[in-house]
Structure 1
Amino acid sequence: MKLKLDLDDLANDFFEDTRLAGIVAPLKSYQFCWHLNHLLHFDFRINNDIEIQLQKKNRNYYFSVFEYRQPVGSLVHYLYNNQYDGEYLLPEFRHLDFLWLMKGDTVADAFFQQIIGSVKTLNGVQLVMELTNEKIKNKGHLIF
């Protein structure tokens, strides 16, 4: 008997109750996190344990992930680098520099819009947009 891992089910479970924003901000990830931490009083830190590794063209590509757990509740924020050495974590969104995933608790529209509005005020940020699950072709790339 063979057990088959259903990646669609896995992706659906992973993305249940999540909100995802795409951000265009040509900044280094550590600079961007510093600005976010300063503006929002968050504490984004790199989490090397959940770094995403993709193999393309016989090479490994590493996409760093920064993490911030809200002190109250179970909401966790993940900030992914969408680009590494000319490759993209989500190739369908080549123009985006960062992907911000909110996961672990229901994210109210008002809170999500407040975050997006705040991020738009940062120097260097050119665009912030919500990404809906239907628009994402390579969802599996975001699963750690």
Structure 2
Amino acid sequence: MKLTLNIDDITDDFFSDTRLLGIIAVTKNYRFCWQLNSFLGYNFRLNRDIEVHLRKKERNYFFPVYQHNVNNTFLNHYIYHNSFDGEYLLPEFKHIDFLWLMKGDAVCDDDCNNLIRSVKTIPGVQLVTELTNEKIKNKGHLIF
């Protein structure tokens, strides 16, 4: 008997009740997370256990993931750096520097819009936009 893994089902399950923001900010990932922590009161920390590893063109690429857990909820926030050594986690969004994934609890439109407005106030942030699941071709790259 041969079992096959259905990646589409795994991807759909992972992305149920998620929101994803794309952020353009010309700064280092650790500095961006420091700014989120300092200016907006988050507690993003590098989580090496969920770092995304891709192998392309016989090379390894590592995309750091920063995590913030919201107390007394199931909601977690993840910041992915979209580029590493000339490769992109989501190549369809090469202009995006950071991806902000909200997962674990539903985030209403008002909360998402307030977050977008808040992030736009950070020095160096040029754009914050919500990325809809339909626009993302390489969703599997975000799964940890």
Using structure 1 for the length normalisation, give the TM-score. 0.99
Residue 46 of structure 2 corresponds to residue 46 of structure 1 = yes
Task: Tell me the secondary structure at the aligned position of residue 80 of structure 2.
Answer: strand
Match of 1:17 in 2: 17
Q: Deviations over 1:82-117 (max 9, x none)?
A: 000000000000000000000000101111111100
Q: Deviations over 1:20-49 (max 9, x none)?
A: 000000100110001101122110000000
In the alignment, the residues of structure 1 paired with residue 98 and residue 86 of structure 2 have an alpha-carbon distance, to the nearest angstrom, of 14
What is the aligned-residue RMSD (CA, Å)?
0.5
In the alignment, the residues of structure 2 paired with residue 93 and residue 66 of structure 1 have an alpha-carbon distance, to the nearest angstrom, of 19
Match of 1:135 in 2: 135
Match of 1:68 in 2: 68
Query: Unaligned stretches of 5+ in structure 2?
Result: none
Alignment of 1:113-124 (within 5 A): 113-124=113-124
Using structure 2 for the length normalisation, give the TM-score. 0.99
The amino acid across from 2:127 in the alignment is L
Match of 2:31 in 1: 31
Match of 2:80 in 1: 80
In the alignment, the residues of structure 2 paired with residue 53 and residue 78 of structure 1 have an alpha-carbon distance, to the nearest angstrom, of 16
Equivalences, count: 144
Task: Tell me the secondary structure at the aligned position of residue 12 of structure 1.
Answer: helix
Q: Deviations over 1:67-87 (max 9, x none)?
A: 000012110000000000000
In the alignment, the residues of structure 2 paired with residue 5 and residue 40 of structure 1 have an alpha-carbon distance, to the nearest angstrom, of 40
Match of 2:6 in 1: 6
In the alignment, the residues of structure 2 paired with residue 23 and residue 123 of structure 1 have an alpha-carbon distance, to the nearest angstrom, of 13
Query: Unaligned stretches of 5+ in structure 1?
Result: none
Match of 2:104 in 1: 104
| Identity within the alignment, % | 62
Structure 1 runs (4+) greater than 2 angstroms displaced: none
